[in-house]
């Protein structure tokens, strides 16, 4: 396990109310480079909302987000992406009508004009990043297939490939490995481990506790928008009080 370095992304006191309901209440979170942090908690605990607040997809009522020491006040998803914060969605949101290759390539083309800057060299780099991401995720043979035609596991890997190609240093992944068969899951985990070892800060929302036990360097437990606990996976997963909340909720 890598030594935790100083946090790349820091969240202090993030909060959001929807109507009368507090979705996220005063959450602090540090995402250090090279560490895989798992966000767990029962349904409705505010995990996805927290991601939305960090990326600016939803405006926060209170709280601060700092990136490499610099506070980010007016956050929008596009801006956060350009700053190196990549985010995946629970429902994937692949570009269905586009090919696998195009899905990944377009992730490397954020510039809003008729062409991307940088000329031929930059274009070669983007293509190389695309090829590499497809190779790492095992999707190279399917490069020309439409995203809509992919099998379930392939779609999950495509979602990851898009992020890989961007070269982002902070990944917010929303249930990226849920529903994967064991072989795919270990391939997936190996990829995350590999990139964490290269210094990427990864934060996963995950319901599957096996995945969490296998991958996470640290666990953050959320319930009803609040951070209840944070620490080593072993300690958190064995805590009976947290288990009661987690499983109790699920049974209801």
C-beta closer to other proteins: residue 183 or 251: 251
CA geometry: angle 43, 185, 158, nearest 5 deg: 85
Write the interaction track for other proteins spanning residues 103-122; mark x where CB under 8 A is met and - where it is not: --xxx-xxxxxxxx------
- Using DSSP, state whether 230 is helix, strand or coil: strand
Judged by CB, which is closer to other proteins: 133, or 236? 133
CA distances 86 to 10, 50, 83, 122, 193, Å, are 15, 14, 9, 20, 17
CA 130 to the chain's CA centroid: 19
Q: Which distant-in-sequence residues (6+ apart) come within 8 Å of 215 by Cβ?
A: 36, 38, 189, 192, 193, 204
- Contact between 41 and 219 under an 8 Å Cβ cutoff? The reply is no
Map residue 172 onto helix, strand or coil. Answer: strand
Q: Which of 47, 87, 156, 169 binds other proteins (CB under 8 A)?
A: 87
Establish if 97 lies at the interface with other proteins (CB under 8 A): yes
Does 61 bind other proteins (CB under 8 A)? Our answer is no
CB of 231 to other proteins, least distance (A): 30
Residue 108: closest CA among 119, 93, 92, 123: 123
Q: Is 250 in the site for other proteins (CB under 8 A)?
A: no
Rank residues 10 and 166 by Cβ distance to other proteins and give the closer one. Answer: 166
Rounded Cα–Cα distance for residues 28 and 12 (Å)? 4
Nearest-approach distance from CB 113 to other proteins, in angstroms: 7
User: In angstroms, what is the minimal distance from the CB of 195 to other proteins?
Assistant: 17
Q: Which of 22, 62, 68, 98 is the binder for other proteins (CB under 8 A)?
A: 98
Q: Which of 17, 93, 194, 238 binds other proteins (CB under 8 A)?
A: 93
Q: CB of 217: closest distance to other proteins in angstroms?
A: 24
Q: Which stretch binds other proteins (CB under 8 A): 75-83, 194-202, 209-217, 227-235?
A: 75-83
> In the chain, what are the helix, strand and coil shares in percent, each to the nearest 5?
40, 25, 35
**Contact indicator for 175, 187 with CB cutoff of 8 Å:** no
Q: If binding is defined by CB under 8 A, does position 145 make contact with other proteins? A: no
Residues that bind other proteins (CB under 8 A): 55, 57, 76-78, 81-82, 86-89, 93-98, 102, 105-107, 109-116, 148, 162, 166
């Amino acid at each position: 396990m890598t030594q935790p370095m100083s946090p790349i992304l820091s969240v202090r006191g993030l909060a959001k109310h929807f109507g009368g309901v507090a979705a996220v209440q005063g959450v602090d979170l540090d995402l250090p480079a090279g560490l895989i942090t798992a966000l767990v908690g029962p349904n409705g605990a505010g995990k996805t909302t927290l991601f939305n607040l960090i990326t600016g997809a939803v405006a926060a009522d209170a709280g601060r987000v700092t990136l490499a020491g610099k506070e980010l006040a007016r956050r929008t998803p596009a801006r956060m992406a350009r700053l190196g914060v990549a985010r995946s969605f629970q429902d994937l949101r692949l570009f269905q009508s586009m090919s696998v290759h195009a899905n990944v390539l377009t992730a490397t083309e954020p510039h809003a004009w008729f062409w991307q800057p940088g000329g031929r060299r930059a274009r070669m780099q983007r293509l190389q990043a695309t090829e590499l991401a497809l190779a790492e995720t095992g999707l190279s043979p399917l490069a020309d297939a439409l995203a809509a035609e992919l099998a379930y596991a392939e779609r999950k890997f495509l979602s990851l490939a898009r992020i890989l190609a961007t070269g982002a240093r902070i990944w917010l992944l929303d249930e990226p490995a849920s529903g994967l068969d064991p072989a795919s899951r270990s391939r997936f985990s190996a990829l995350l481990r590999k990139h964490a070892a290269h210094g990427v800060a990864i934060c996963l929302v995950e319901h599957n506790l096996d995945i969490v036990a296998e991958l996470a360097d640290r666990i953050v437990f959320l319930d009803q928008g609040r951070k209840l606990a944070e620490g080593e996976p072993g300690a958190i997963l064995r805590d009976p009080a947290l288990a009661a909340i987690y499983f109790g909720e699920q049974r209801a």
